[in-house]
Amino acid sequence: MALTNTEYGKAYEYACLMSINRYLTEKGVGPVVISESDALDTARNAFEKAKSEGLSEKLVLAADAASRVILRLEPQLEYGNGPLTLVIQTDAQGIAGDVRDVVCIRGANGWEIGLSCKHNHQAVKHSRLSATIDFGKEWFGVPCSDTYFNTVVPLFNELRDMRAAAVANGDPLPLWNDIPDKVERYYIPVLKAFLAEMKRLSERDASIPKKLIEYMLGRYDFYKVITDDTHKTTRVEAINIAGTLNKPANGHKSIVDVSRLKLPTCFYHMDMVPGSDNKVTIVCDEGWTLTMRIHNASSKIEPSLKFDVQLISVPNSIHIQVEPWEC
């Protein structure tokens, strides 16, 4: 059976962890401890499945390219004090605001860095909207208005009732494709209500643009490592908002300085993407732009919709390095 996208992503996480371990071992750095866990087992099994299908070589090449960049940027990996522990995190960590997939930890001084491993895409945190989800409170700590809920609750309740009626009658669960006007009936009204509420929230709290980026990127600094199979390169982006990346270790400094990124202070533009019926764009100052595409995560009707969020532009000060694979 072919690998799913999720399995491929897990296999890439395992390849990244093992690549860092291998490079450090070759340099004589130690001790390095790989933390055993269910998350590690899941990633290892996915990698073994990729290996059996002849797909692991690309993952290793991509991971090695990422490791070479990060080892040059992070002296603590090679020269830090105390044992180094490598961890693969659970998906639940991402829901809790930690988007790092692989974390390197030195307990002796409390130092750690993380990698967010992406295979051929640059998506950031995925979030849902529903009748009961207060995205303002969940994302920003500022509750959504009654106006927003008065608009979206009836729409999501319709979806809930469709599903409940099928269950009560013993019928198969209805499919989104059974709704011919799902875009006009649900997607567009929910997106417009979302945009209107975003504008209301930002009028109530001037820090909403900053909080939006913080929420989408998570609570910790990290390196995003993105494979590009077509060009046989790995792109490494340093998301250094709190200034925790690129620290010296015992007199050793990186030859490259990773700048601390500035967060936005205002929204320049928020609207539907021209020509699209399920995507909005949000443009902020300091060079931040993102798109948010709403979709049904399952083929079966659910009383919720999911966002796929992409960072379209980031500040010019971000450190980005594209490393070719050593084929």
Residues 179 and 285 in one domain: yes
Residues 133 and 152 in one domain: yes
CA distances from 32 to 22, 71, 85, 190 (A): 10, 14, 6, 49
* Overall domain count for the chain: 2
The rounded distance, in Å, linking the Cα atoms of 246 and 150 is: 47
Residues 256 and 269 in one domain: no
Question: Which residues on adjacent β-strands are paired with residue 280?
Answer: 272, 292
Task: Report pLDDT for 203.
Answer: 96
Residues 183 and 288 in one domain: yes
Residues 165 and 232 in one domain: no
Residues 203 and 253 in one domain: no
pLDDT at 326 over 90: no
Residues 108 and 236 in one domain: yes
Helix (H, G, I), strand (E, B) or coil at 194: helix
DSSP state of 184: I
Residues 19 and 164 in one domain: no
CA distances from 149 to 145, 154, 193, 224, 272 (A): 7, 8, 9, 35, 20
pLDDT category at 298 given cuts 50, 70, 90 is confident
Residues 174 and 279 in one domain: yes
Residues 10 and 20 in one domain: yes
Encode pLDDT of 165-201 as tens digits. Answer: 989 988 888 999 989 999 999 999 999 999 999 999 9
pLDDT at 2 over 90: no
Q: Which domain holds residue 102?
A: 5-119+219-262+316-324
Encode pLDDT of 55-104 as tens digits. Answer: 899 999 999 999 999 999 999 999 998 899 999 998 765 555 688 999 99
Residues 203 and 292 in one domain: yes
The rounded distance, in Å, linking the Cα atoms of 6 and 13 is: 11
Task: Report pLDDT for 107.
Answer: 77
pTM for the model: 0.84
pLDDT at 268 over 90: yes
CB-based contact 191:278 (threshold 8 Å): yes
Task: Report pLDDT for 124.
Answer: 67
Encode pLDDT of 9-44 as tens digits. Answer: 999 999 999 999 999 999 998 789 999 999 999 999
Task: Report pLDDT for 286.
Answer: 94
Task: Report pLDDT for 51.
Answer: 93
Q: Which residues contact 267 (CB under 8 A, 6 or more apart)?
A: 198, 199, 202, 208, 209, 282, 283, 284
Task: Report pLDDT for 327.
Answer: 66
Task: Report pLDDT for 73.
Answer: 97
Q: What mean pLDDT is predicted for residues 202-215? A: 95
Phi, psi dihedrals of residue 116, rounded to the nearest 5°: -105, 115
- Taking all residues of the chain, what is their mean pLDDT, rounded to a whole number? 92
pLDDT at 123 over 60: no
Residues 76 and 174 in one domain: no
Q: What mean pLDDT is predicted for residues 103-119? A: 87
Query: With the CA atoms of 35, 41, 42 and 46 taken in that order, what torsion angle do they form, in degrees rounded to the nearest 10?
Result: 110
Encode pLDDT of 159-172 as tens digits. Answer: 999 999 989 988 88
- Name which of 68-77, 210-219, 283-292 the model is least confident about: 210-219
CB-based contact 66:59 (threshold 8 Å): no
Encode pLDDT of 226-239 as tens digits. Answer: 999 999 999 999 99
The rounded distance, in Å, linking the Cα atoms of 202 and 189 is: 20
Q: Determine how β-strand 304-313 pairs with β-strand 289-295.
A: antiparallel
